[in-house]
Amino acid sequence: MTVDPTRLGTVESVGGSTVSVALDVNAASGLTYVGGQGYRAGQVGNFVRIAIGLIDLYGVISEIGAGAAPAAVADDEPHGHRWMRVQLVGEALPGEPFRRGLGEYPTIGDPVFLLTERDLVRLYGEPDELRHIRIGQLAGGGSVPARINLDRLVTRHAAVLGATGSGKSTTVARLLSRIVDSDAYPGARALLFDLHGEYAAALGDCATVFSAAAVPRAAHEHLYVPYWALPLELLVELTMGAVDDKALATIGELVVALKRAALATGKLDGVDPDTITPDSPVPFSLKQFWFDLHQAEHATHTAQGAIAQNNDTIAYDSDENGELKGSPADVIPSRYHPQQAGQVFLSQHGKQLRRQVDLLGQRLRDPRYAFLLRPGPFEPDLDGQIEADLDVLLRDWLGGRQPLAILDLSAVPSAVINALVGAIVTISYESLLWGRALPEGGRERPILMVFEEAHAYLGKEDGGLAGEQVRRVVREGRKYGVGALIVSQRPSELDATVLSQCGTLIALRLSNSSDRQHVTGAASDNFQGLLANLAILRTGEALILGEAVGMPMRVQVDALEEDRRPDSHDPPVIADPPLPGGWTAPRPDDPDYATVVAAWRAQDARGLGGKDPKTMDREPVDSENISSIGYDAESETLEVEFSSGHVYQYYNVPPGEYEALLSGGSIGKYFAANIRNAYQYARL
- pLDDT level of residue 612 (50, 70, 90 thresholds): low
Beta bridge partner(s), residue 50: 57, 112
In this prediction, residue 592 carries a pLDDT of 78
What was the pLDDT predicted at 606?
A: 61
| pLDDT in the model for residue 357 | 93
pLDDT at residue 356, rounded to an integer: 93
Cα(450)–Cα(545) distance, integer angstroms: 19
Could you tell me the end-to-end alpha-carbon distance of the chain, in angstroms, rounded to an integer?
Answer: 65
Amino acid at 161: L
Query: Span 338-357, mean pLDDT?
Result: 88
Mean pLDDT for 38-53 is: 81
User: Across-strand partners of 7?
Assistant: 113
Using CA atoms of 507, 509, 514, 515 in order, give the dihedral in degrees to the nearest 10.
-40
Check the CA dihedral 590-593-598-604 and report its sign: positive
Q: In this predicted structure, what is the pLDDT of residue 214?
A: 66
Cβ count near 8 (within 10 Å): 27
The arithmetic mean of pLDDT across residues 105-114, rounded, is 92
Q: pLDDT tens digits, residue range 548-604?
A: 987 788 899 998 887 677 876 677 788 777 778 788 777 777 777 887 787 776 666
Which among 507, 512, 493 has a CA at the least distance from the CA of 537?
507
Q: What is the pLDDT of residues 492-526, one digit of tens each?
A: 998 888 888 999 999 999 989 888 888 888 875 56
Phi, psi of 485 (to 5 degrees): -120, 110
Nearest to 195 by CA among 503, 11, 413: 413
d(CA 196, CA 394): 23
Question: How far does CA 467 lie from the centroid of its chain?
Answer: 14
Average pLDDT for 131-139: 88
Distance CA 579, CA 380 (A): 49
pLDDT digits (tens, 9 = 90+) for 2-13: 678 888 899 999
The 8-class DSSP code of residue 565 comes to: S
pLDDT tens digit string along 197-229?
A: 889 888 888 999 998 876 677 678 889 999 999
Q: Indicate the residue type of 223.
A: L
pLDDT category of residue 49 using cuts at 50, 70 and 90: very high
What number is the average pLDDT over the span 80-95? Answer: 82
Kindly indicate the confidence band of residue 75, based on its pLDDT and cuts at 50, 70 and 90.
Answer: low
Q: What is the mean pLDDT of residues 295-307?
A: 90
For the four alpha carbons of 548, 550, 553 and 556, in that order, the dihedral sign comes to negative
Q: What is the pLDDT of residue 251?
A: 94
Distance of alpha carbon 251 from alpha carbon 293, whole angstroms: 9
For residues 477 and 126, the model is more confident at: 477
CA atoms within 13 A on the CB side of 207: 27
Q: Which residues contact 340 (CB under 8 A, 6 or more apart)?
A: none
232 in Cβ contact with 251 (< 8 Å)? yes
As a whole number, mean pLDDT of residues 7-25 equals 89
Residue 626: name the closest of 675, 593, 587 by CA.
675
3-state helix, strand, coil split of the chain in percent (to 5) is 30, 25, 45
pTM, two decimal places: 0.81
pLDDT of 140 higher than 70: no
Predicted confidence at residue 158, as pLDDT, reads 96
User: What number of CA atoms fall less than 13 Å from residue 468's CA on the CB side?
Assistant: 11
Q: Among the residues of 435-563, which ranges form H helices?
A: 465-480, 496-500, 513-522, 528-531
Give yes or no for residue 29 having a pLDDT over 70: no
CB atoms within 10 A of CB 474: 25
For all residues of the chain together, what is the average pLDDT? 85
Burial class (CB in 10 A: 0-12, 13-18, 19+), 24: middle
By mean pLDDT, which of 5-14, 180-189, 468-477, 569-578 is the weakest?
569-578
Q: Is the pLDDT of residue 79 over 60?
A: no
Q: Using CB atoms within 10 Å of the CB of residue 89, give its burial: 0 to 12 exposed, 13 to 18 middle, 19+ buried.
A: buried
Q: What is the pLDDT of residues 392-439, one digit of tens each?
A: 999 989 987 899 999 999 878 777 788 889 889 989 998 998 888 898
Average pLDDT over residues 22-35: 74
